[in-house]
Amino acid sequence: MPNFAFQARDRGGQQISGTREATDQRAALESLREAGLFVTQLAPTRGRRTQSTPAGMSVAPTAAQSTLVAPLAESATPAGVPSPRPETGAVSTATQRVLSPSAATTPETKSDVWARANAKQMSLFFRQMHSMLHAGTSLAQALTIIAQHDASPALRRASYEMHLRTSRGEPWHTTLRAYPGLFSELMIGMIQAGEAGGFLDRTCLRLSEYCERDYELQQTIKRETWYPKLLLLCSIFIPSVVPLVLTSVGVMQGNPLMNWLKSVYGPVSLIVGATVAWKVANYFAPLLDHKKTLRASVDQLKLLVPIMGKTVRALATAKFSRALGATYAAGMAPHMSIRIAANACGNEAIAQSAMAIIPRVERGEPLTDALASTGHFQAVVLQMLRTGEESGKIDEQLDIVADFLETDAETTIKQSVKVLGIVAFLLVALNIGAFVINSYTGIFSGIMDAAP
């Protein structure tokens, strides 16, 4: 049975190192968790057997040990012991990068920053990747199949180019960064964790479910905002019908069509301009991720807006929790886990605050206390995280709290949309009422002026 060298912290924050025998890396990680250890590094001994360090002995990690060592190589599994499942399709590529460093210097395929796909297409993409990887298909072969049959032209083209790069030994999460319009930081971070931990197929399934929830939320917003949109259009076109009729029957002077166009030109131009600006902003948003200072200011402003700020914070911390749980399950070092989770949260203000606590966590401070000092994380997140630290099941607790926060955010959005419908109705009623009053006032004024 192979040996795995590990670095970990016990519940008191003390550093512990040693080796653990297990059938594979996942089993070693689970056994260390059951022992109440927070694993920071885990790697095979690659053919050499060492004696475990006695429990309780503190070993200071070296500089070389501060980064995550790649997962178990296929050759490290002795004959007769089941090798790690080929379902991930990522163990071999990560191992090739370690055994052949020159692979990282292979010329990259040109990036495509203009590729786009909606949430439904991304959900189908990750669902197909999960099915093929779970069935034992290699990563490069799975990408080739999607490149031939996916319904989205952008995903077909991206899958073919990623197939070429992963075939050369480049990690999949690295190739994803060439398509910022397709793959978010959350997706990249979770794929990186899945590659490192050997559960890439399950990571694709979770991303598929996440995209499905995102698509359902988008459809809910469209469905619930249909009525307010209809009221808005009615408030523009109904009052304009009266001048059109009066002009047509000769009561008012001028061209009927021109008078009608003049009455609706202003509101329609405003709506069309706002819609176009929103579409353009969403399209170019992935290209502005490197503008950290600007993004931090905008994201901080979002957190301060009533109602909207609560929803933005809940969704951002849910993404942070989900990515942190995935990287912990992969056995990544704390500083790498926090960095990936911060990049994946989608809010630069929260990300910068999380990045700032990395040195404190590396010095042995509990993760819960460090995150609490930022002021960005809700009490329920800190409570569940503290429970996970004490029980050794941080990833499970973080997944639970992420589900709770996403559900709470969806409820808030649905309630806000319903309130928006009522507000739109009142505004339309006031607008039409003001128009009627002005019309009657003008009529009576004309009658009074015409009276002798």
Query: Each residue of 172-184: pLDDT tens digit?
Result: 999 998 998 899 8
Cβ–Cβ under 8 Å, residues 41 and 34: no
Least confident interval from 17-21, 43-47, 112-116, 206-210: 43-47
pLDDT at 214: 82
Query: Each residue of 68-124: pLDDT tens digit?
Result: 333 333 333 333 333 333 333 333 333 333 333 333 333 444 667 788 899 899 999
Q: How far apart are CA 273 and CA 244, in angstroms?
A: 25
Averaged pLDDT score across all residues of the chain: 75
Q: Say which residues have a Cβ less than 8 Å from residue 206's Cβ, sequence separation at least 6.
A: 190, 322, 326
pLDDT at 184: 84
Q: Do domains 103-218 and 291-452 have the same CATH topology?
A: yes
pLDDT at 257: 66
Confidence of residue 148 (pLDDT cuts 50, 70, 90): very high
Percent of the chain at pLDDT > 90 equals 13
pLDDT at 245: 66
Domain spans of the chain? 1-66, 103-218, 225-284, 291-452
Class of the CATH-defined domain 291-452: mainly alpha
Hey, which residues does 42 pair with through a beta bridge? 6
- Helices in 255-393 by DSSP H: which ranges? 256-284, 292-304, 308-329, 334-344, 348-356, 358-362, 367-372, 379-391
Rounded to whole angstroms, what are the CA distances from 348 to 207, 228, 291, 302, 446? 21, 32, 10, 11, 60
Q: What is the pTM of this model?
A: 0.63
Q: Domain 103-218 maps to which CATH number in 1.20.81.30, 3.40.50.2000, 3.40.190.10, 3.90.1150.10?
A: 1.20.81.30
Instruction: Report strand pairing: 15-21 vs 38-44.
Output: unpaired
